[in-house]
Amino acid sequence: MLPVLLLVWTLLGLGSNPLATDSPQLCPLTKDHFDYDPRGSTVSSNWAAISSCCSSPVRQSPRDLDLSAIPTQYCSRPFSIQYHHSASQQGLLYNNGHAPNIDITTAYPAFLTGVPYAPDDKYVLVGIHFHFSNGSIGGSEHSLNGSKFDGEMHLVHYKEKYGSMANAVLKEDGLAVIGAFLVKSLEQIEPPKRPLDLLLEYFISLTGFGKAGGVNVALDVRALLPDRLDFYTYAGSLTTPSCSESVRWMVLADPLAVNPSSLDILRLLPMGADDDRLISLFSNVRDLQDNPQPVETNFPCWIQDVDSNPSSN
Ligand SMILES: [Zn+2]
């Protein structure tokens, strides 16, 4: 009788821990060259040559998030993230050739608490960057029920107790990344503009390249996000080399609307100071990965509006 009960228990998922059960592969940060050129040797399908983590079968990102495939017991999980002193952040905004970036430079960076499976730990914000395409294909890294969005914003945090990104990337719970889908709004919103549009407009003022060509900006990080922080969460990886499997992903359920002109600004950013090609030429989007780790939500899966209507934020 006991084995039968154990089988039922397991089939119902009641006794299973949705955390990763296979050992993640952890790889140090790398400065080795990579790109997204499908004709090149350093395209994403060949990134394993740069870092072995990129071919790990354990928990690679990005992935599709299929709401219909999430078992009921993994929905409405009691996860609630909060930002702390996020309103007065300073950042260096620049183009590194792979993505538009904002490095947080303020002495007291914003931090997150309430990260799933580490709710009492502080995760310090280090940077924000953007993924997108030229518009002919989806520009988001993750997809939702098989559908891509126009772009995706990533807010990258490391666990404070590990001291730095370099150390945290070598821990399976070292990083927490918020992903937010971007959707081109149907009409240009004139002032007062959304905080995210105002931020993206700074990229048009870049005259140089790399950090040396960056501009200093002030930003309210929380104001960039929707009011309601419903999210999908799973154990995953960095989506660029080293692909270290150190990331707790939280992908927001509500996409963010941005002005058409904001997307155009991103799509016109060049790959390099001496390279006129645009980042959007090949998109800065990694292929979807087969990640076997369970996906959970902090919202009821059965009433969530899963179409691609952008939020009003
Ligand atoms: Zn990213």
Q: What is the CATH number of the domain that holds 247?
A: 3.10.200.10
**Helices and strands (H and E) in the chain: how many:** 4, 16
Residue 76 has what pLDDT? 97
CA dihedral 41, 44, 49, 50 (to 10 degrees): 110
**Mean pLDDT per 10-residue interval, the chain, length 313 residues:** 41 44 90 86 88 96 96 97 96 94 96 98 98 94 97 98 98 98 87 90 91 95 96 98 97 96 94 90 94 97 56 41
- The closest of 11, 113, 95 to 278, measured between CA atoms, is 95
The CA 11 to ligand 1 mean position distance, Å, reads 35
The total domain count for the chain is: 1
The CA 269 to ligand 1 mean position distance, Å, reads 16
The CA 130 to ligand 1 mean position distance, Å, reads 6
Catalytic residue among 98, 117, 167, 313: 98
How many Cβ atoms from other residues are within 10 Å of residue 89's Cβ? 22
- Asked if the structure places residue 310 within a domain, the reply is no
Tokens 């072995």, located at residue: 52
Say how far apart CA 19 and CA 235 lie, in whole Å: 7
The CA 178 to ligand 1 mean position distance, Å, reads 10
Catalytic residue among 162, 202, 232, 234: 162
Tokens 């228990």, located at residue: 9
The CA 19 to ligand 1 mean position distance, Å, reads 22
Q: Is 123 a catalytic residue?
A: no
Residue 21 has what pLDDT? 59
Q: Is the peptide bond before 133 cis (omega within 30 degrees of 0)?
A: no
- Asked if the structure places residue 158 within a domain, the reply is yes
Say how far apart CA 292 and CA 295 lie, in whole Å: 9
- Asked if the structure places residue 257 within a domain, the reply is yes
Q: Is 33 a catalytic residue?
A: no
- Asked if the structure places residue 271 within a domain, the reply is yes
Say how far apart CA 283 and CA 99 lie, in whole Å: 10
- Asked if the structure places residue 125 within a domain, the reply is yes
Q: Is 162 a catalytic residue?
A: yes
What separation in angstroms does the CA of 279 have from each of 130, 131, 137, 201? 11, 10, 14, 17
- Asked if the structure places residue 8 within a domain, the reply is no
Catalytic residue among 101, 259, 291, 298: 101
Residue 39 has what pLDDT? 85
Is the overall model pTM greater than 0.75, yes or no? yes
Domain holding 95, by residue range, is 21-297
What separation in angstroms does the CA of 133 have from each of 130, 251, 284? 10, 19, 7
What separation in angstroms does the CA of 259 have from each of 7, 187, 200? 52, 7, 10
The CA 168 to ligand 1 mean position distance, Å, reads 16
**Residues ≥6 apart with Cβ < 8 Å to 243:** 27, 47, 51, 53, 54, 56, 60, 237
The CA 129 to ligand 1 mean position distance, Å, reads 6
Residue 208 has what pLDDT? 84
The CA 238 to ligand 1 mean position distance, Å, reads 7
Paired with 180 in beta bridges are: 153
- Asked if the structure places residue 223 within a domain, the reply is yes
- Asked if the structure places residue 150 within a domain, the reply is yes
The CA 6 to ligand 1 mean position distance, Å, reads 41
The CA 61 to ligand 1 mean position distance, Å, reads 10
**Residues ≥6 apart with Cβ < 8 Å to 59:** 20, 22, 24, 234, 235, 236, 237, 245, 291, 292, 293
The CA 131 to ligand 1 mean position distance, Å, reads 6
